[in-house]
Structure 1
Amino acid sequence: MERALQRFAITGGIGSGKSYVCHLLEKRGISVYDCDEAAKRLIRSDESLQMMLQHLIGDEVCQNGIIQKRVLAAFLLENDAHKQAVNDIVHPAVANDFMLSNFQWLESAILFESGFNRRVKFNHVVCVSAPLEMRVWRIMERDSITRESALQWIDRQMPQEEIEKRADFVIVNDGYANLETQIDKMFVDFNWEI
C-alpha cells in the first residue's frame, strides 16, 4: 500500500529566518515551496490575478504586467482591511498551486493568518522563532527600510508567541542555538527520513 504524501509547513514572523532554515533543508535534499515566491510568480503570470489587484488597488499597482511592489506595500500597510482583501485574492491561488505541486514542505510567513492551514492539510507545522530586535535588524537590512517600517510589518502579523503555540515544533534562530541540531531533532520528532 502506498504511503500518503505528508505535508509540512514552516512558518514564523517576518525576519525570523525561515528562509535560512529552508536553505539548510535544501542542502539536505528537501525542496521547499516558497509561498512568497509563488505569489510573485502567479501575480506575474496570471492575468486574472493582476486584473483583480488592479480592480482593488488601482491601475498603478500593475504597469505593463509588472506589479509595483512599493504601491502594493503602501496599500497593504494602510490598514488590515486592505491586507485581508489582497490575501483573499492571492492566497487561494497559492494554496491551489501548492496542492498541484509535488512539494511536501512549504514556507509561509502568514500560514495561520492567511487561512492556508485550513486550505491544506499539514501533518506538522514548524515555527522559526527569533528575538524581536534581531528580526527588526534583519528586515531593515534586507529591505532597506526604517525601523518604524520594520516594526509596522511585524505588528501586522500574528504575534510570534501565538505562532509558537500553534506549531508542532519550534526552531530557535537567535544566532546562538545550533540550527542543524534543531533540524535533526525535528526529523526525529516527526519520524522523517530523507
Structure 2
Amino acid sequence: MLKIGLTGGIGSGKSTVAQLFERLGVPVIDADRIARELVEPGRPALKAIQAAFGSEVITPDGRLDRAKLRANVFADASARKTLEAILHPPIFAEMERRSRRCAAPYGLLVIPLLIETKAQDRVDRVLVVDCPEALQIERIRRRDRLPEELILNILASQASRAERLEAADEVICNTGNLRDLERQVEELHRFYLRLSGHAQPDPTAP
C-alpha cells in the first residue's frame, strides 16, 4: 500500500480533508484517534501519564482530563517532551500494524506532528494541508474557544508553515470553500491511484 502522510498545523483542516478521502473509500489511519484509544482507562499509556503528571490530569471517573494536560504540556516544553515519549512509540507502532493490514492501493496516515517527529521516512509521500496562520488562529478560536495565549503556545510548538511546505510532496490549500477542498481531494485521489498503479478509467474516453 502506498502510504500518504497527511499533516498540517492545528486548525488547518486536516480532519476535514481526511474525511473527504474516507468518503472516496480511502483507508485512513489517524494518529490522534489512536492516541485517544491508548489513553482509555486501564491502558498502560494512561497509567504512565498519571505517573508523570500526577492525578490532577485524571478526572474523578478515571479518564484523562485533556484540557488540564494540554494546558500543562503547552506551557512547558519539557512536559511536552515527556508526553511525546510516552505516546509516540505506541502510536507509530499501531499505525504501522494497521498499515500492514490494509490491502488498498493507497492509504492516508494522518500525523499532525509528522515534520516535528521527523517521521517522513514512515510514509511514501507527504501531503500538507496549508493555510495562513491568521486563519488557523481564527478557526481554533471559533472551534475550541481556547485562550489566545494557549493558541499561540500550540502554534509555537509546531513546525512553521515554511517547514511544512518545504517537506511537502503535495499541498492542499484550505482557504476556500468546501467544494474547492473536495475538488483538490478528488484530483489527488486520482493522482495517488495512478502512482499506486491503480488508475481509474477515464469516463469521458471513447
TM-score range, shorter chain: 0.7 to 0.9
- Distance in structure 2 (CA, Å) of the matches to 1:70 and 1:187: 35
Paired positions, count: 188
1:35 match: 31
1:186 match = 188
Q: What is the CA-CA distance between 1:110 and the residue it aligns to?
A: 0.8
Q: More deviation in 42-51 or 122-131?
A: 42-51
Shift of 1:23: 1.3
TM-score if structure 1 supplies the norm length?
0.87
Conserved? CA contact 1:50–1:65, under 8 Å? no
Tell me what 1:90 maps to: 87
Does residue 162 (structure 1) correspond to residue 163 (structure 2)? The answer is yes
- What is the CA distance between 1:184 and its match in structure 2? 3.5
1:105-130: CA deviation from partner (whole Å, max 9, x where unpaired): 11121112134435xx2111100001
Contact 2:75–2:153 (CA under 8 A) maintained in structure 1: no
Structure 1 runs, 4 residues or longer, greater than 4 Å off: none
Distance 1:147 1:175, change over 3 A: farther
Structure 1: give runs of 5+ residues left out of the alignment: none
Aligned residue number for residue 148 of structure 2: 147
Contact 1:61 1:68 in 2 (8 A): yes
Asked if 1:80 corresponds to 2:82, the answer is no
Structure of greater Rg: 2
TM value normalised by structure 2: 0.82
CA distance in 1, matches of 2:34, 2:40: 10
Distance in 1 (CA, whole Å) between partners of 2:166 and 2:88 is 23
How far apart are 1:146 and its partner, in Å? 2.7
Alignment partner of 2:115 out of 108, 112, 116: 112
Contact 1:95 1:116 in 2 (8 A): no
Deviations 1:16-71 (A, max 9, x none): 01111111111111131121121011111552211211121112222343001122
Partner of residue 58, structure 1: 54
Residue in structure 2 matching 1:44, options 40, 43, 56? 40
Residues 130/66 of structure 1: CA separation in 2 closer, same or farther (3 Å cut): same
Identity %: 27
Greater mean deviation of Cα atoms: 142-151 or 126-135: 142-151
Equivalent residue number for residue 135 of structure 1 = 136
- Deviation larger for 83-92 or 171-180: 171-180
Whole-angstrom CA distance in 2 between matches of 1:71 and 1:187? 38
Distance in 2 (CA, whole Å) between partners of 1:97 and 1:45 is 18
Residue 39 of structure 1 aligns to which amino acid in structure 2?
A
Superposition CA RMSD, Å: 2.0
